[in-house]
Structures are given as C-alpha cells and as structure tokens.
Amino acid sequence: MSERFPDAFLADKYAQFRSLAFHAALFTPALTAAMWSWEWGVDPAHAMDTLGLRIAMVLLSLVVPLSVKLYERSDVGAWLAALCTVLIEILLSVVHDRIANGALLGMPGFMFFYLLAPVVSFVFPLRVNVTLNVVLPVAPLALHAVSGVPVGFHVVAYSSAAFPAAAFVITGHFLAERALRQFFEARRLAAWRSAAIDKVAVPVFVANSEGLVEYANAAMMGLLEPSRNVVIGTPLDQLLDMSGAQAGLKNVEARVRNSTRNTWLLLSGTAVGRAGRAPSIVYVAQDVSAARAESDALRDAALTDTVTGLANRRAYDQQLARRHAQGGTLAVLFVDLDGFKAVNDSFGHDTGDALLKVIAQRLNRALRQGDLVARLGGDEFALIASIADGTDEARALAERLLRTISEPVHLTTETVKVGASVGVALSSTIQTDAHGLVRAADAAMYRAKASGKGRVVIAEAADYEAR
C-alpha cells in the first residue's frame, strides 16, 4: 500500500474505513433478512434474495468505486466501477419475479442519487452535504410515491437500512476525497518548492536530526560531485568535514570529503521544525574554496622559506614551542655552512641559492619522520629532533648531517663543496624554555667553528648562561 499511498496516515485510515464497509456488506444482508423473517414470517431465503442482496450491492457499489479512486487515482475508473455494480444489480433485478413491487425502481433511483453525491460534495459546503446524506436514503420512497407503485415493507426496510450505509460511506468518501486533495496539493506545492530551490544557484541542502541528508539541490550536488542517489540518505559527516557544526550555527567552514577540487564551503544552518517530527537543519552553502586556497597560500608563505621551501624561522619557533610544551627529550641542532660565502662570492647569488636548495633537500632526507628542518636565514639551518637515547643519539644524528652536507654538489655549470659546523642542545641537559635551547645550540655551533669547523659540539649549561 505504501507505493500507492505515500501518506501512511491516510492509507491507514482508508484501510480501516474499507474494512468496516466490507464487513457491513457481508453481515448487514444476513442480519436484515433475519429480522425481516422473524418479524413478518417471511422465508429467510426469500428475504435474502429480495432485500439482503440489494443492501450488499449498495455497500459494494460504494466501496469498490472508492477503492478504485484512491488506489488508482482515476475518476474515470471509479465511475466505471460504480456503473458496473449498478448494471449487475439491474441484471439481478430484471430476472427477479418481483420487479412489479418496485425492487428495480428502488436500486437505480438510490444509485442515481448516490452517484450524484460525490459531484455535489465539491460544490456545496459540508452542511449541505450532510443534509444530502440524510435525504438520499429516502429517495427510493419518493420514487415509489411518484411512480404510483405501492410502498411495501421491503422498500421501507431497504431505505432504512441504506440510511446508515449511505451516511457512513458517502461521508467517508467525502472526507477521503478532501484528504486526498489536501495531500496531493501539499505534495504538489512541495514538488514546486523543490523544483524552484533546485534551480537556485545557491547551494542548499537539508539534514535531519539523525544527521542524514534529506535533500540537496543541483548547485549543492555540483559541489559534492557524486550523484543525487548517492547523497540522499547518506550521513552528513561522510560528505562534509564540519566538526563543531550544530543546529543554527552560523559561518561554519566545512571541507568536502573525497573532493578532487579541495572544495571548502561556508555553511549557515537553521533548524526547521515539523509537526510530530524532530527538526531538520536547512543549510545554505557558499563555495569559499578560492578564498581558502588564497588564505592557505598566504599562511604557507608566512611560514615557508622562499629559497629552499623549508620552514622559516617563524614556523620553526612555533613548532619548537609546541614540541617543548609536550614534554620528552628534544634535540635542537644549529647548522652553519662552512665555505658558503666563498661559493657565493665566486659564482654569484644564483649559484649560492642553487646550493642552498640542494643542501635543504639533503637535510630533509637525513631526518627521521616527525623531525623538522628550517632555514633561519643566510647559510644557517636549524633542526628539531625527538631523542630517546640522550647525547649519543643526538651526536650520531649531527655527524650524519655533516657527512651528507660535505658531499660534492653538482650544479648546472659548477661542482662545489661545502662543510658545516653543528651545535646541539638537549632539553634533558639544558633546563630552560624553548628559546633557551635555541640560544644554547647557537652558542655550541660558534664553539664548533672556533674549534676548527666541520665538527659537532654538544651544548652545556654554560653555553646557555653565556648567551
């Protein structure tokens, strides 16, 4: 039923109504025939044939067309179904030996007024329709009176039994028709709104209280990239990285997951409540990918050395402060190239810059995962490394750096060679803050140069105090 009836409440109410009507069609004839036989001494079979069958046909002629209309949504089909039930009754009446008593006259007359009722129910107000429902069951009596056919008990009983059936079924028909009209009108308006929003250039999507996407317009789908069928019903956090977003939260930046374009959105969400349901959140999105890329580029530029592509002094200081606050033993290494000034003076600044780039690449390759190397300026480099084995491990790392730096560098037109002096400060030895470690490593590096260059010096407490 759910495929034909999108509205579950309406489907449930109609199912109850139809069940009652069919039960009435089954039990009313037998009950009426039994009462007639008991009160007037009429043969029960004769009573069923004369009266009960017709009451059943009346009820079925009301329920069957209504079923066709509601299920198939076809007015023509409903009218044809009603006509078929009337024709069946007429055929049964034609062969009946009591046609002269008005049985044939009562059924078509009643059915005429019944079939007229759904038409006028959309013209007149509800009060008039209720009046018609009261008047219609006595139509067979009026027809008999006008035609001059004597009114027998079966006609009176027929009209009396038809009254509750007519009131019940016709009113149900009217209410169901009105409910259907309201439902389809609401769905039409919803479809119209959806189509209108779908054509809006602004990305819009809706997520329910469980975080599932209920709707996304075409503009939003263009940003999410997958097909609409994949998006609808998908958890929002699988589509967008929007940590911290809550109902009604404004200006939330979210990154589109699995995007080939690194798409960033600025979201503005509003909670929209619905009767009997938890509120959903309607999000309006703005593509801020270009602004985000520009911001990231500016941030990277502010933290990156333009010559070597390594972290600059600002990035190094930030990383060192963060790592030092986390605890653990850190080694700060200061590296100053030996012989760089001679290369720069002999071959020019372009060759000097090319040499710095090669040295930067070698230092990067010599580090372990999690370590950081930065260019502080000129021919000075600094490194941050996590140390587990104290001085020996730090010295081994520094000597490895010396070896990789001292290898000849083959440039486009020249082959040059430089060395380095390295000062090392350990946080386990120098009990100070992050900046104190840098000063101690710098002092140790100058001691290495003063001792003949090309060597490693481990800082002592005196190096920090001297600076």
- Digits of tens for pLDDT over the chain (467 positions)? 334 444 555 555 555 555 555 555 545 555 555 655 555 555 555 555 555 555 555 655 665 666 566 555 666 666 676 666 666 655 555 544 444 444 444 444 444 544 454 444 445 555 555 555 555 555 555 555 555 555 555 555 555 555 555 555 555 656 666 666 777 776 777 677 777 777 777 888 888 888 888 888 888 888 886 655 567 888 888 888 876 555 446 678 888 887 777 888 888 888 887 666 778 888 888 888 888 777 777 777 778 888 898 989 998 999 998 888 888 888 999 999 999 888 888 888 888 899 999 999 999 888 888 889 999 988 999 999 888 777 888 899 999 999 999 999 888 778 889 999 999 999 888 778 888 888 899 999 999 999 888 889 998 876 555 55
Q: What residues pair up with 304 in beta bridges, in sequence order?
A: 311
CB–CB of 415/352 below 8 Å? no
Q: What's the first-to-final CA gap in the chain, in angstroms? A: 86
Domains, in order of start, for the chain: 8-191 (no CATH), 204-290 (3.30.450.20), 304-466 (3.30.70.270)
| DSSP 3-state of 98 | coil
User: DSSP string covering 103-151, please?
Assistant: HHHHHHHHHHHHHHHHHHTTTS-HHHHHHHHHHGGGHHHHHHHHHT---
**pTM (2 decimals)?**
0.47
Model pLDDT, residue 357: 92
What one-character DSSP code corresponds to residue 285?
E
C-alpha 52/C-alpha 31 separation (Å) is 8
- From 49, 287, 338, 379, the catalytic residue: 379
What one-character DSSP code corresponds to residue 368?
P
**Amino acid identity, residue 378?**
G
Angle formed at CA 62 by CA 60 and CA 67, multiple of 5 degrees: 90
* Phi, psi for 93 (deg, rounded to 5): -75, -35
Q: Which of 303, 306, 324 is nearest to 314 (CA)?
A: 303
Element (H, E) at 416: strand 415-416
CB–CB of 439/464 below 8 Å? yes
C-alpha 289/C-alpha 106 separation (Å) is 78
| Active-site residue flag, 379 | yes
Model pLDDT, residue 23: 52
Question: b/e map of 14-38 (b: 16 or more CB within 10 Å)?
Answer: beebbeebeebbeebbeebbeebbe
Residue 256 to residues 97, 224, 228, 242, 351, Cα–Cα distance (Å): 81, 7, 15, 9, 43
Residue-wise pLDDT tens digits, 69-106: 655 566 666 667 666 666 665 555 554 444 444 444 44
CB–CB of 269/252 below 8 Å? yes
